[in-house]
Amino acid sequence: MLPFTEEELLCRLALCFIEGVGPKTTRALLSHFGDAQSVLAAPLKSLTVVPGMGEPKAKACKDAGLKERAAQELRYMGQHGIQPLFITDKEYPERLRYCDDAPMMLFYRGNASLNAKKMLAIVGTRKNTDYGTRATEHLLEGLRQQEDLIIVSGLAFGIDAIAHRKSLQLGIPTIGVVAHGQDMIYPTNHKSLAQDMMQQGGVLTEFVTGTKLHPSLFPLRNRIVAGLCDATVVVESDEKGGAMITGYLAASYNREVAAFPGRAFDAKAAGPNKLIRKQIASLITDAQDLLSLMNWTGARPNKRDQQELFKTLTEEEQRIAETLKDQEGMHADELMLRTGLSTAQIGALLLQMEMSGLVKALPGKMFRLV
């Protein structure tokens, strides 16, 4: 049973459609009048005295179409399994609630708690290098045994998508925060990824359906990514960009920021190197660095523990695993020579071990043990 009436929910949704009234002003309105119903019922003159309001905004609150638009939104949410989360709801993300610019309403599709014990954002450039891919995957592989951990990112191309996909592969719930309503997925290439995430994590937004994509909305999305999490990891980024905005926002919320260092003249390393140089971010190179920084302990039982998997490997697969052990990467031809296996055997076995999550294929017919 809801702790408020359906009319109050309708009015809360209506507040999302008031032209020019953002989270801070909405918070001031609710603080002044007590609830959403009272805000919409308040006389024009009473509305104008609230900090952040004025006559134009007060008149916008009296728009007769607000509730009808809210009713349409409510119907859509019911049809598509979208959960509304008001800032006073217990399911609303507790970490985000403490941010002074937190959205009053969130729209969520998924099955993961937004108040997990450990919430980690992993962000970076849309145009990642192989180093960025490896750093992201290596970090997540080292975190796979952490109990009650959720990975958060922005569902964008590059590092975001790598973080989401690798999390899914490892069985870690992952949440994508988007800069549009729940009636679409951007980029469209990630529709299938988003569907998978809704089964093992979720998709979250503050924007109502019909919201048009605009560059100004992405920094707003980034503040939610930062505000949701205990820490933000910046993998690769130019000196400017969305990942850097998220890092700076996380620091402004007094959350931990970590970054992978890169080469001095590499443009994609300029952002993380700057965060480290300015002592905004802690330098990390693997999961253990992050775990030490966050003082995170408590491993979950790993259903696919590598040692247990090794016991079930065939003799040939064990030979490959032992050869790749402690190696950064090895060419398939060298692996063939060292194991004494044929080309056909190596190809088939490596494919099987990759499908099992034991081996990672690298560019140039290189392979390494996960």
- 0.85 surpassed by pTM: no
Tell me, what amino acid is at 29?
L
Instruction: Cite the DSSP H helix spans in the chain.
Output: 6-15, 23-33, 36-41, 44-48, 55-61, 66-80, 94-97, 130-143, 159-170, 191-199, 217-228, 242-252, 270-277, 287-294, 306-312, 315-324, 332-339, 343-355
Q: DSSP string of 322-337?
A: HHHTT-S-EEHHHHHH
Residue 216: partners with Cβ closer than 8 Å, 6 or more residues away = none
Q: What CATH topology corresponds to 110-294?
A: Rossmann fold (3.40.50)
Q: What CATH topology corresponds to 306-369?
A: Arc Repressor Mutant, subunit A (1.10.10)
Contact 235, 261 (CB under 8 A): no
Contact 255, 306 (CB under 8 A): no
> In the block, which residue shows the tokens 């398939």?
332
For 296, phi then psi, to 5°, come to -90, 125
Contact 321, 310 (CB under 8 A): yes
Looking at the DSSP bridge assignments, the partners of residue 232 are: 121, 257
Dist. CA 279–CA 349, nearest whole Å: 46
How many Cβ atoms sit within 10 Å of the Cβ of residue 6? Answer: 9
Dist. CA 365–CA 84, nearest whole Å: 47
Q: Domain map of the chain by residue range? A: 1-79, 110-294, 306-369
Looking at the DSSP bridge assignments, the partners of residue 109 are: 203
Class at the top of the CATH hierarchy for domain 1-79: mainly alpha
What is the residue-level pLDDT of the chain in tens, covering all 370 positions?
345 688 889 999 999 888 888 888 988 898 899 888 999 989 988 999 898 898 889 899 888 889 899 999 999 999 999 999 998 888 999 999 989 899 999 999 999 999 999 999 999 999 999 999 999 999 999 999 999 999 999 999 999 999 999 999 999 999 999 999 999 999 999 999 999 999 999 999 999 999 989 999 999 999 999 999 999 999 999 999 999 999 999 999 989 999 999 998 899 999 999 999 999 999 999 999 999 999 887 554 444 445 555 567 888 888 898 898 877 788 888 888 889 888 888 988 988 888 777 888 876 778 888 7
Q: DSSP string of 34-102?
A: SSHHHHHHS-HHHHHTSTT--HHHHHHHT-TTHHHHHHHHHHHHHHHTPEEEETTSTTS-HHHHTSTT-
How many CA within 13 A on the CB side of residue 341? 22
